[in-house]
């Protein structure tokens, strides 16, 4: 699908980098990094031999259809679209407060007039990502990084809040995590069913199965912080083999099981290196099925826009559709 999007250029970003680093700089190269669907991520190579990254939040950088980027009640919906500089800044502060590494923030510029976007200039952690290390077959390094990631997750999971929701938005106290997940899963199921007939045929059975899993969950009153979509592609590995979390705008106070079920999906056999004792099996069952349904409905929504990597999204849909239907 063709696109007429106009992405960020060097000159306005060069001015921001100079102010961020508090010195005169020359940007010698600009690379738009792949991966983001809601913001643009740019590596800026400096003539002085270093580099920084610019995050750009603007209409041209968001591949989600506009009517799917808003929620009627973003403050009351922990799963409302996680997009924007305010969520990023708030998440960065919370992670720093619990000793979890994410790229250092040098400068935030809201409503940049030339870019028509919000921008953050941040540390360039060159990586690679944990996903790339896994793909390149570096098992000893991967195990070491996963061990440190397990420590990061344990620090984040320490209960600190009775409410749930994004760390930079008002928290919800009158709803439980499991009820939020069930409601969201039912919406995803209905939306996916409208787009895929095989899911429509199985929807009544899957709705009953979600209800059965929900009924087994015991109440919980306190929650830690989770990334919300933590796969190995959202973990950079710095030169000291420390995990560095990126794409952090979805950071929220929520059940740790939501994070761990997603990690189980993404890590496969490597999940054992981050698994921790004490996770609730009833929540794990509910949340795993909810993830499968979400990973059908979400990519199908994205495919209604002009996201460039269509086949990749279709592959995600087909895999998780199969896994969801196995529960029917």
**243 in the same domain as 217:** yes
Q: Identify the domain boundary among 123, 149, 166.
A: 123
| 274 contacts 149 by C-beta, under 8 angstroms | yes
Same domain, 116 and 143: no
275 and 210 in one domain?
Answer: yes
| Long-range CB pairs of 195-204, under 8 A, 24+ apart, other chains included | 195/297, 195/300, 196/296, 196/300, 196/317, 196/321, 198/321, 198/325, 199/296, 199/321, 199/324, 199/325, 202/324, 202/325, 202/328
Residues 128 and 236: their CA atoms lie apart, in Å, by: 6
The reported pLDDT for the residue numbered 110 is: 94
| Together in a domain, 302 and 193 | yes
- Same structural domain, 155 and 234: yes
Could you tell me the CATH number of the domain that includes residue 43? Answer: 3.30.200
Judged against a pLDDT cut of 80, whether residue 31 lies above it is answered with yes
Mean pLDDT of 149-163: 96
Same domain, 317 and 194: yes
The CATH number assigned to the domain holding 186 equals 3.90.1200.10
Q: What are φ and ψ of residue 248, in 5° steps?
A: -95, 5
- Tell me, yes or no, whether 3 lies in a domain: no
| pLDDT of res. 109 | 94
Domain hosting residue 152, numbered range:
130-325
Question: 93 Cβ partners below 8 Å, 6+ apart?
Answer: none
pLDDT (tens digit, 9 = 90+) per residue, 266-297? Answer: 999 999 999 999 999 999 999 999 999 999 99
Non-local (6+) Cβ contacts of 109 within 8 A are 16, 118, 119, 120, 121
What's the pLDDT score for residue 133?
96
Q: What's the mean per-residue pLDDT of the chain?
A: 90
Judge if 110 and 148 occupy the same domain. no
């Amino acid at each position: 699908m063709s696109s007429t999007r106009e992405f960020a250029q060097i000159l306005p970003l060069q001015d921001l980098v100079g102010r961020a680093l508090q010195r005169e700089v020359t940007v010698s190269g600009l690379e738009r990094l792949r991966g983001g669907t809601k913001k643009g991520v740019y590596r800026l190579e400096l003539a002085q031999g270093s580099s920084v990254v610019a995050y750009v939040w603007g209409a041209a950088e968001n591949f989600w259809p506009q009517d799917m980027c808003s929620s009627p009640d973003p403050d009351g919906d922990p799963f409302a679209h996680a997009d924007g500089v305010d969520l990023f800044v708030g998440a960065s502060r919370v992670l720093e407060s619990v000793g979890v590494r994410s790229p250092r923030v040098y400068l935030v510029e809201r409503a940049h007039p030339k870019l028509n976007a919000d921008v953050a200039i941040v540390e360039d952690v060159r990586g690679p990502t944990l996903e790339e290390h896994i793909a390149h077959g570096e098992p000893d390094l991967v195990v070491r990084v996963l061990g440190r990631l397990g420590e990061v997750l344990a620090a984040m999971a320490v209960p600190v809040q009775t409410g749930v929701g994004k760390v930079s938005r008002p928290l919800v106290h009158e709803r439980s995590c499991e009820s939020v997940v069930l409601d969201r899963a039912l919406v995803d199921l209905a939306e996916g069913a409208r787009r895929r007939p095989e899911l429509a045929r199985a929807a009544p059975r899957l709705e009953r199965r979600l209800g059965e899993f929900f009924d087994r969950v015991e109440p919980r009153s306190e929650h830690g912080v989770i990334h919300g979509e933590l796969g190995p592609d959202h973990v950079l590995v710095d030169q000291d083999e420390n995990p560095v979390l990126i794409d952090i705008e979805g950071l929220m106070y929520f059940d740790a099981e939501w994070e761990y079920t997603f990690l189980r999906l993404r890590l496969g056999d490597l999940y054992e290196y981050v698994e921790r004792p004490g996770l609730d099996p009833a929540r794990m069952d509910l949340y795993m099925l909810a993830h499968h349904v979400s990973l059908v409905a979400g990519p199908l929504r994205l495919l209604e826009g002009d996201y460039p990597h269509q086949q990749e999204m279709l592959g995600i849909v087909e895999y998780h559709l199969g896994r969801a239907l196995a529960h029917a």
